[in-house]
């Protein structure tokens, strides 16, 4: 949901993915595929993500290094809180808009006589 607030930049897409996949470990290829961020761009962002300690290495499978969210990071905890708050606000606004649309449809149905073939 961070993309709803901060836009569709590659870094925000990767952050959003990391926060959604809280419990899983993942490779760079997984992140690239799931976010739509090119391998080249992800390769440029990866040192910054590691430097900020947003992720930590978890294990290696064959030649693929896997990573997971750094649950001890204060920054990750803060981003997770923001992500949950943004989700709550966005879902609330969507529900309000949906309610307004249903009300408008009900009003149109009441205003139109049913037996006239309109």
Q: Please report the pLDDT score of residue 88 as a whole number.
A: 85
Mean pLDDT of 45-70: 94
Q: In this predicted model, which residue has the larger pLDDT, 5 or 69? A: 69
Is the pLDDT at 118 greater than 60? The verdict is no
58-74 burial code (b ≥16 CB/10 A, e <16): eeeeeeeebbbbbeebe
Is the pTM for the entire model greater than 0.85? no
Number of domains the chain is built from: 1
Which CATH number is 12's domain given?
Answer: 1.10.10.10
% of the chain exceeding 70 in pLDDT: 82
Determine the 3-state secondary structure of 60 from DSSP: strand
pLDDT at 19: 87
Provide the domain limits for residue 45: 2-77
Mean pLDDT of 59-82: 92
């Amino acid at each position: 949901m961070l993309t709803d607030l901060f836009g569709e930049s590659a870094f925000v897409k990767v952050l959003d993915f990391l926060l959604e996949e809280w419990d899983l470990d993942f490779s760079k290829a997984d992140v690239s595929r799931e976010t739509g961020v090119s391998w080249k761009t992800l390769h440029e962002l990866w040192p910054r993500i590691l430097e900020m300690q947003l992720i930590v290495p978890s294990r290696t499978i064959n030649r693929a290094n896997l990573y997971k969210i750094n649950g001890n990071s204060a920054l990750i905890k803060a981003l997770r809180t923001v992500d949950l708050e943004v989700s709550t606000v966005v879902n609330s606004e969507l529900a309000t808009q949906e309610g307004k649309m249903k009300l408008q449809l009900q009003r149109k149905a009441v205003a139109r006589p049913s037996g006239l073939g309109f």
